[in-house]
């Protein structure tokens, strides 16, 4: 029905109600009175007719969606009818210095009853239709009977097209348990969710407790995921309340949500002092970490942001994304360049003279670098050397190398090459005006080449998921968290530090795979898990520091400084001179030997390598 037709229908209905209510009121009080010959009654009828339509328009009675009528709409009806009767009373007093109070009061009551009834009948029709739809809707359990949860239930009931029927609240508050909210019973507590799911034939779970800590939320989500029922979480309560999003925008629980890591409060002032109105250069800007660093840095309104990367498509994508996001006074400059090209890197740094550089460009895949050790040397070692030395030569204020936990006691080329890269910046820091630092962290969930995208692809194909070993464990953090901590660590650099991020507890890869299967709506038997064996260069577990590097004191929440000592500059340079002429086997033996040196055996290791 068009708006014009709808308003015409409402005006017609109101006209009939207005005329009938005043005549009925007078007839009830004076059944033998000839109401059709009374001039005063005629004037009252004309007045109430005009006044009603004026106030009905004034209070929006013709613009409201009556299928969603509630207390607010009833108040509008009461205001419109009351003001109408007041006007009629005023006209009567002006003409005859008297007011027919009983007749007007009865008219007022009939008016509200009939106008309200006509409007609320729209709601009754809609609820009748919804009740039929509920029989086909997904039976939904809502976790949390607070403001967010009640808002979710109300929206679901008001929007049957969502396809969800809320049938139960679960809440730990004993004051709410046993009550009903919008006709939905509240039960408790959260640990009994699996039983409630089973007993009530629940088909979907919605988590609506935005104020819960991340660690507790993680436990709750794991409990929900264990049921095998699809679990979703609400958007931010602020967005729900302001109407920016609705319950239709609920998000599936992701594997990142199960980590249970509380966000770190960054030192925004210190970061702003380093980045605002400065020129920032990010290598590997198209990669998972590099692109997120660019997003985070752009929030601090640098003067220029240089996106340096070897991949044309990835640099194009982050360039286009940032141009739509950041203000026009931030100059974004995409640069296609390879860190292995020393002249090109020096030319870029000389041209733009960045204040801060984040070096995220690297080869990171362990098995691939085992098969291609020369490429690990070129990119991870000499690429880092080129970028770091350019920073030193052209007076960059801060340089941050993005490193990895695989640089600790590495048995593989990739990890050893990253430890060697750390030693390069540590040695430069001894004599340079540039404040060099490295930041070491573990696996990043969702990054390109990580296990999560691979597992998702395998699930989409029907399985099985391939896991190398049932005891394989790794440290994990999210891409935004890793990038934020890299930026924060850069503000703490005094020169030569290897910062280590607190990665929380290590996670078994097989448990990660099982959770992903459940989050995807499958049972483990539907997909299956196949163990393929440890690949070349892999360890069963990763470390963030070896026993010589452990330093328990945090310099910032979730940030430590590792006591990682480099080999001397002379020994480092001698090895760098020899690396290009080595065979793949010699490269691995050399890098792993240097990366794993201990003070007690330092001279033996270095002498052996230098004398090759």
Catalytic site residues? 406
Contact 457, 520 (CB under 8 A): no
Closest CA to 407 of 447, 439, 360: 439
The torsion angles phi and psi of 260, rounded to 5 degrees, stand at 70, 40
Radius of gyration of the chain measured on its C-alpha atoms:
35
Rounded distance, CA 218 to CA 234, Å?
Answer: 15
Bridge partners of 501?
A: 559
Q: Is the preceding peptide bond at 378 cis, omega within 30 degrees of 0?
A: no
Q: How many residues does the chain have?
A: 612
Instruction: Work out whether strand 251-252 and strand 230-233 pair parallel, antiparallel, or are unpaired.
Output: antiparallel
CA dihedral 190, 193, 196, 202 (to 10 degrees): 130
Q: Which of 206, 238, 199 is nearest to 221 (CA)?
A: 206
Number of H helices and E strands in the chain, helices first, is 23, 22
What b/e readout covers 197-225, taking b as 16+ CB neighbours within 10 angstroms?
beeeebbbbbbbbbeeeeeebbbbbbbbb
Q: Residue 357: which H helix or E strand, with range?
A: strand 356-359
Reference 535, options 374, 414, 378, 436; nearest CA is 414
Say if CB 522 and CB 558 are below 8 A apart: no
Contact criterion met (CB below 8 Å) for 556 and 497: no
């Amino acid at each position: 029905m068009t708006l014009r037709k709808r308003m015409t229908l409402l005006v017609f209905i109101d006209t009939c109600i207005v005329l009938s209510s005043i005549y009925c009121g007078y007839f009830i009080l004076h059944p033998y009175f000839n109401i059709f010959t009374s001039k005063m009654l005629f004037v009252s009828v004309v007045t109430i007719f005009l006044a009603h339509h004026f106030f009905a328009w004034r209070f929006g009675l013709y613009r409201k969606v009556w299928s969603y009528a509630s207390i607010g709409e009833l108040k509008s009806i009461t205001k419109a009818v009351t003001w109408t009767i007041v006007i009629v009373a005023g006209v009567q007093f002006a003409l005859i210095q008297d007011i027919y109070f009983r007749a007007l009061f009865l008219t007022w009551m009939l008016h509200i009853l009939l106008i309200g009834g006509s409007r609320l009948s729209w709601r009754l029709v809609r609820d009748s239709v919804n009740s039929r739809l509920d029989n086909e809707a997904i039976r939904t359990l809502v976790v949390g009977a607070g403001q967010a949860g009640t808002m979710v239930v109300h929206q679901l009931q008001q929007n049957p097209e969502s396809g969800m029927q809320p049938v139960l609240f679960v809440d730990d508050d004993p004051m709410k348990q046993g009550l009903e909210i919008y006709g939905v019973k509240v039960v408790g507590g959260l640990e009994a969710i699996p039983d409630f799911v089973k007993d009530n034939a629940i088909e979907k779970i919605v988590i609506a407790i935005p104020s819960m800590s991340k660690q507790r939320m993680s436990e709750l989500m794991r409990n929900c995921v264990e049921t095998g029922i699809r679990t979703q979480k609400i958007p931010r309560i602020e967005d729900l309340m302001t109407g920016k999003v609705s319950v239709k925008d609920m998000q599936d629980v992701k594997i990142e949500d199960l980590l249970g890591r509380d966000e770190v409060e960054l030192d925004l002032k210190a970061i702003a002092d380093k980045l605002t109105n400065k020129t920032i250069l990010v290598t590997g800007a198209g990669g998972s970490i590099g692109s997120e660093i660019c997003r985070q840095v752009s929030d601090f309104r640098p003067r220029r942001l240089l996106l340096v990367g070897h991949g044309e498509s990835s640099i194009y994508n982050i360039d286009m994304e940032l141009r739509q996001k950041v203000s026009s006074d931030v100059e974004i400059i995409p640069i296609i360049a390879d860190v292995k090209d020393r002249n090109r890197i020096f030319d870029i740094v000389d041209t733009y003279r960045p204040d801060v550089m984040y070096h995220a460009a690297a080869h990171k895949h362990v098995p691939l670098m085992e098969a291609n050790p020369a490429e690990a040397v070129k990119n991870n070692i000499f690429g880092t050397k080129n970028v770091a030395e350019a920073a030193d030569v052209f007076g960059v204020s801060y340089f941050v190398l993005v490193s990895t936990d695989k640089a600790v006691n590495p048995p593989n080329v990739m990890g050893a090459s990253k430890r060697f890269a750390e030693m390069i910046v540590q040695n430069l820091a001894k004599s340079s005006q540039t404040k060099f630092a490295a930041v070491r962290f573990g696996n990043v969930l969702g990054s390109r080449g990580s296990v999560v995208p691979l597992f998702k692809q395998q699930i989409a194909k029907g399985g099985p998921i391939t896991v190398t070993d049932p005891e394989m464990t790794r440290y994990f953090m999210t891409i935004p968290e890793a990038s934020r901590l890299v930026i924060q660590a850069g503000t703490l650099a005094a020169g030569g530090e290897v910062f280590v991020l607190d990665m929380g507890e290590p996670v078994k890869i097989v448990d990660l795979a099982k959770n992903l299967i459940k989050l995807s709506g499958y049972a483990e038997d539907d997909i299956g898990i196949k163990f393929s064996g440890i690949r070349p260069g892999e360890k069963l577990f990763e470390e963030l520091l070896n026993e010589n590097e452990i330093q328990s004191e945090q310099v910032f929440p979730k940030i430590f400084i590792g006591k990682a000592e480099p080999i001397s500059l002379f020994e480092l340079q001698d090895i760098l001179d020899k690396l290009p002429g080595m065979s793949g086997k010699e490269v691995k033996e050399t890098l792993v030997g240097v990366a794993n040196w201990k003070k007690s055996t330092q001279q033996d290791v270095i002498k052996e390598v230098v004398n090759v």
